[in-house]
């Protein structure tokens, strides 16, 4: 496993977004050995043909290759990239990210100086393609924008996370876990759904394996914000998608807090959360029916509804995920 950074660029129908992302990658500090792995996640707009032509005609000064992953879901694309990576550090770059020129060198040095560092997140700066809505500052983290902590350094929360856009990961522990047959239940974005949680899943697994999660304020990248995303309807859809992973993510939360608990105790705790989620949703639904509505109240209700639905519909999968966590005990360092 070589010393360097494998940039994993996952895309779905990203032909029109990729040029600026690839241009920024070519301007990165060349002191760090890199490779680019572009994973096409079931695109239907000719992205694959465009990428292959681009790689043939561009004079890239680093290795670059194209991979097609036909199974929809961001996590499947990322796993394909991880398996193909040659270097010991990974950088997940979305197809609407433009990395600052020193992004690699800063991140690489932080990993080299801290063997416990497993995940490193940066500071997303909005690249607005239209007017900035007045509500964006309140919800910027949902769009992978802005600072992820009050200061640079270790994320103290457990479980804690940084957003997956432009995040570094240490490859070896993830690859070992994948090669053991670990199954990821949170698939991430697909063509028809905006269900997230895969970022949290990867971060929480790294914490379970004894690694730290850090944020670095001086790691800066630009995140393109098209007008189609800067609507309250899109925000509601996206936040609902995040809440749709609640039932499955609870398996991680419970296991991290109670690693030696039985499946029966997990079942009791899960259905307690289901009951709580349902009561909270019904309470807010009743309040909204008798009071004036606003889009933010609709947002809150959509999140609560999605969370309740997630717990109602996903017990079997959550139970299987909890059992998998129990069965992989050789990977976990529960008191890092």
Domain boundary assignment for the chain: 2-230, 247-331
β-pairing, 117-128 with 212-225?
Answer: parallel
Report the SS3 class of residue 69.
strand
54/48 Cα distance (integer angstroms): 10
- Torsional sign, CA 92, 98, 101, 106: negative
Confidence class of residue 288 from pLDDT cuts 50, 70 and 90?
confident
22/27 Cα distance (integer angstroms): 9
Q: CA neighbours within 13 Å on the CB side: how many for 178?
A: 16
CATH homologous superfamily for the domain 2-230 = Spore Coat Polysaccharide Biosynthesis Protein SpsA; Chain A (3.90.550.10)
The larger pLDDT score, comparing residue 185 to residue 78, is at 78
Confidence class of residue 182 from pLDDT cuts 50, 70 and 90?
very high
- Torsional sign, CA 160, 85, 123, 20: negative
Q: What is the pLDDT of residues 6-49, one digit of tens each?
A: 999 999 999 999 999 999 999 998 789 999 999 999 999 999 99
Listed range (99-103, 167-171, 188-192, 259-263) with the worst mean pLDDT: 188-192
137/147 Cα distance (integer angstroms): 11
Residue 151: the pLDDT is 95
pLDDT, mean over the chain: 94
Q: Give yes or no for residue 195 having a pLDDT over 70.
A: no
Q: What is the pLDDT of residues 39-81, one digit of tens each?
A: 999 999 999 999 999 999 999 999 999 999 999 999 999 999 9
22/178 Cα distance (integer angstroms): 28
15/267 Cα distance (integer angstroms): 45
Through-space distance between the first and last CA atoms of the chain, rounded to whole angstroms: 25
Q: Helix 315-327 to helix 295-313 angle, to the nearest 10 degrees?
A: 70
Q: Helix 246-257 to helix 198-208 angle, to the nearest 10 degrees?
A: 10
Which among 303, 306, 336, 184 has a CA at the least distance from the CA of 252?
A: 184
11/229 Cα distance (integer angstroms): 17
């Amino acid at each position: 496993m070589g010393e360097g950074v494998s940039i994993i660029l996952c895309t779905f129908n990203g032909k029109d977004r990729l040029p600026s992302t690839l241009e920024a990658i070519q301007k990165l500090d060349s002191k760090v050995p890199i490779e680019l792995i572009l994973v096409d996640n079931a695109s239907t707009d000719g992205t694959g043909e465009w990428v292959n032509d681009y790689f043939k005609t561009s004079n890239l000064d680093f290795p670059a290759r194209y991979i097609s992953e036909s199974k929809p879901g961001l996590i499947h694309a990322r796993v394909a990239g991880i398996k193909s990576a040659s270097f010991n550090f990974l950088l997940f770059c979305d197809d609407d990210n433009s990395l600052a020129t020193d992004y690699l060198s800063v991140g690489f040095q932080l990993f080299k100086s801290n063997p416990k560092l497993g995940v490193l997140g940066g500071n997303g700066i909005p690249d607005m393609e239209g007017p900035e809505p007045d509500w964006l500052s309140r919800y910027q983290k949902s769009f992978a924008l802005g600072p992820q902590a009050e200061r640079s350094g270790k994320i103290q929360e457990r479980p804690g996370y940084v957003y997956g856009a432009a995040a570094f990961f240490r490859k070896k522990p993830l690859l070992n876990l994948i090669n053991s047959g670990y199954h990821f239940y949170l698939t991430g974005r697909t063509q028809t759904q905006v269900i997230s949680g895969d970022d949290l899943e990867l971060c929480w697994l790294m914490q379970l394996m004894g690694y730290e999660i850090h944020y670095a304020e001086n790691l800066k990248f630009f995140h393109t914000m098209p007008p189609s995303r800067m609507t309250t309807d899109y925000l509601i859809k996206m936040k609902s998608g995040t809440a749709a992973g609640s039932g499955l993510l609870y398996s991680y939360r419970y296991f991290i807090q109670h690693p030696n608990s039985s499946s029966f105790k997990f079942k009791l705790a899960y259905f307690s959360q289901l009951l709580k989620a349902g009561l909270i949703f019904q309470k807010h639904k009743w309040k909204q029916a008798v009071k004036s509505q606003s889009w933010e109240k609709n947002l809150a209700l959509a999140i609560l509804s999605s969370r309740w639905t997630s717990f109602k519909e996903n017990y079997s999968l959550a139970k299987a995920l909890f059992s998998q966590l129990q069965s992989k005990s050789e990977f976990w360092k529960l008191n890092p």
